Amino acid sequence: MPLSGAFSQVRMMKNRQSRKLLAYRLALLLALLIPVPQAYAELAGDLDYDGYIGPNDLKTLAEHWLLNNHPGCQGDIDNDCDVDFYDYTYLADNWRIRYCSDVNATTSSTEGPAYLPSYAVDETWSTRWSSAFADNQWLQLDLGRIRNVGGLEIFWEAAYADEYSVELSLDANDWTPVYSDYSADGKYDLVLFSQQSARYIRINCITRATPWGNSIWEVFVITDDDCTPTSEWTLIWSDEFGGTDVNTDNWEFQIGNGCPDLCWWGNNELQYYTSRPINVRISDGNLIIQANEESYAGHDYTSARLRTYNKKEFIYGKFEARIKVPRGQGMWPTFWLMPTDFAYGGWAASGEVDMMETRNIPTEIHGVIHFGGEWPFNTWTDGTYSPGGVDFSDDFHVYTFEWEPTQMRWYVDGNLYRTENSWWSSGGPYPAPFDQRFHILLNIAVGGNYPGPPDGTTVFPQQMVVDYVRVYHKNILP
């Protein structure tokens, strides 16, 4: 099959017996195809000389086998000068193909239970995905981690899309178009585009060529990274707070006192949030959120609250911020996450994560999750970092939260202080509610149920200074 080019598909033998069979076939074929140095005679199939027979050897063998047996139309097994599904089926009789790691597939629709999206990435040629009999359907692949992607091999069934496009994403939220074909003929498509990092791939089937749906036997992803992660986490988004103004492509200002929907922000807080420079601004590469004691809009205090709602949303990852917190009775700074869709019901059935919060004289840092039923049937769990003798308002500290499907971890300056894997929601089964989109918030509240009101000892203004906010995705999911 045509595996040449700048990228390579990582393909492996399915089981030990198949590997032995491959080694035997390699030994027979190599004498005809490629001279093997005497030093590697005991590993006749070791074409890349790394000491074992692996996926790259299979790739080289396939290239040379096709080149020598079908030089007029490489890959054309059935001699119709059209490399298609049937040619690949022939080769599949000799070895099966798989991704280097599991690939999960989702879709806009299916024709029925016999045509699931997973069948387009199930390592076999006997099953396929098929959509409902409608235009504008899609098949989405999750590679499990961020990889360097340069193309796709798509094997269409007789029902195919004659107009389709391909998009890539790091987070399944922001998508980048990389390819389109508005006169496709089905069969086999080798889709190549400029190499870039992505975890998610979406094939948008725009119009159908037949009265039926859109159907794909198999999709293979072309990469050059050999499935070896360079680090455990990959940065997918950040705000380093450069420039002169808050980047409104990333952040939305929440204004007011929460009324009429959530008066006093649900906690009897005393501040009125504004977007005025006196409350929120960029200065010397930092985000400044400032709480003031002043008469404004019927309140005695003002502050600011920012969120990435409907701008940057995330499911799982590592969230990190370098922050210098304020100090004083009644101060309540927070770096936190809220659900975007409230898929499981009102607060806190859909969850809340406090990645960092503290209050008053900040000698303790708290990591909290809220979950359970809708208020007042909600509950929470809390973890505390208190190393002793540290006032966190004296300097910057790095606050990190790692969120995986069934575990959460909280750190301060790299020190793990809390691990949590137990929660529930009245709106759905575990791991609900923490399996949906969440967005980031930064704010200083003044007063409220948690810290109590300011007193004469608190000196205003007080500032929460944020050096950066960064979000990473894990390269290999558990």
Domain boundaries, the chain: 16-92, 104-228, 235-474
Report the alpha-carbon distance of residue 438 to residue 61 in Å, rounded: 47
Residues 416-471: pLDDT tens digits? Answer: 999 999 999 999 988 899 989 999 999 999 999 999 999 989 999 999 999 999 99
**Cα–Cα distance list, 21 to 27, 35, 64, 417, 446 (Å):** 10, 20, 18, 51, 71
Catalytic residues, which ones?
352, 357
Q: Which two tokens stand for residue 72?
A: 């007029």
Q: Is 418 helix (H, G, I), strand (E, B) or coil?
A: strand
pTM of the predicted structure, to 2 decimals: 0.58
Neighbour-count burial for 455-471, b at 16+ CB within 10 Å, e otherwise = eeebebebbbbbbbbbb
Q: In the CATH hierarchy, which fold is given to the domain comprising 235-474?
A: Jelly Rolls (2.60.120)
CATH among 2.60.120.260, 2.102.10.10, 3.40.30.10, 3.40.47.10 for 104-228: 2.60.120.260
pLDDT value for 5: 28
What region does 346 belong to: left with phi over 0, alpha with psi -120 to 50, or beta? beta
> Locate tokens 């709602």: which residue?
309
Q: What is the mean pLDDT for each group of 10 consecutive residues in the chain (478 residues)?
A: 28 31 38 33 49 52 47 49 46 40 88 94 81 97 86 89 96 93 87 88 97 92 63 87 95 96 94 98 97 97 97 92 97 97 96 97 97 96 95 97 91 95 94 93 96 94 98 66
Angle at 228 between CA 222 and CA 233, to 5 degrees: 105
Residues 74-116: pLDDT tens digits? Answer: 444 455 554 444 444 444 333 333 355 678 899 999 999 999 9
Q: What is the largest CA-CA distance in the chain?
A: 90
Kind of pairing between the strands at 176-181 and 137-156: unpaired
Q: Are 415 and 381 in contact (CB under 8 A)?
A: no
Q: Which two tokens stand for residue 316?
A: 């799982």
Report the alpha-carbon distance of residue 170 to residue 166 in Å, rounded: 14
Residue percentage of the chain with pLDDT more than 90: 61
10 Å Cβ neighbour count for 402?
20
> Same CATH fold, 235-474 and 104-228?
yes
